[in-house]
Amino acid sequence: MKLIILDRDGVINFDSDQYIKSPAEWKPIPGSPEAIARLNQAGYRVVVATNQSGVGRGLFEMDTLNAIHEKMHKTIAAAGGRIDAVFYCPHAADAKCDCRKPKPGMFERIAACYNIDLTSVPAIGDSLRDLQAAEASGALPMLVLTGKGKKTQAEGGLPDDTLVFDNLAAAVDDLLS
């Protein structure tokens, strides 16, 4: 089975320092829905792994998070693609949970659900914590320069094997070439 793990905010959709708190605030990065469709067509299962501390901070409810994800699913379906599963950490940063990236707990859940070793599974994110979670689970860290990606690259400290791309569409071009 071919699997790919994507972060949500900054990779699939535009990010916000004030959090994405409603479906109206969720806006796809141009080319991302089509890139996900191309992954599906190439036989990839696409899963999202996203920290959503806005729930734990009380900025929005689970119903709102579900509505945001419903909009994401519909947008990607309209481009001919699908996301097979969404894994998320709803906890605030101070919760000391194992599922919040950069800890690998969410990636370990993905591996268990799909009964797969994550070694060399592409994991695309825009923040250092995305890349650290990928590295800790044996996945292949890939940085996109959308969202917080340019800042992440400038700050350095990336895992040694990190691949860097302008956006999700460029990363998918490389994977499928």
Q: Is 94 assigned a catalytic role?
A: no
**Which one from 9, 15, 126, 130 is the annotated catalytic residue?**
9
Three-state DSSP at 151 gives helix
Separation of alpha carbons 169 and 160, rounded Å: 22
Q: What's at 3, amino acid-wise?
A: L
Maximum C-alpha span of the chain: 43
Cis peptide before 30 (omega within 30 of 0): no
Q: Are 49 and 92 in contact (CB under 8 A)?
A: no
- Residue 4 pairs in a beta bridge with 46
**Which one from 7, 15, 126, 130 is the annotated catalytic residue?**
7
Q: Is 9 assigned a catalytic role?
A: yes
Separation of alpha carbons 111 and 76, rounded Å: 23
Q: Residue 123 has which token pair?
A: 């994991």
Separation of alpha carbons 4 and 97, rounded Å: 24
Three-state DSSP at 152 gives helix
Residues belonging to the active site: 7, 9
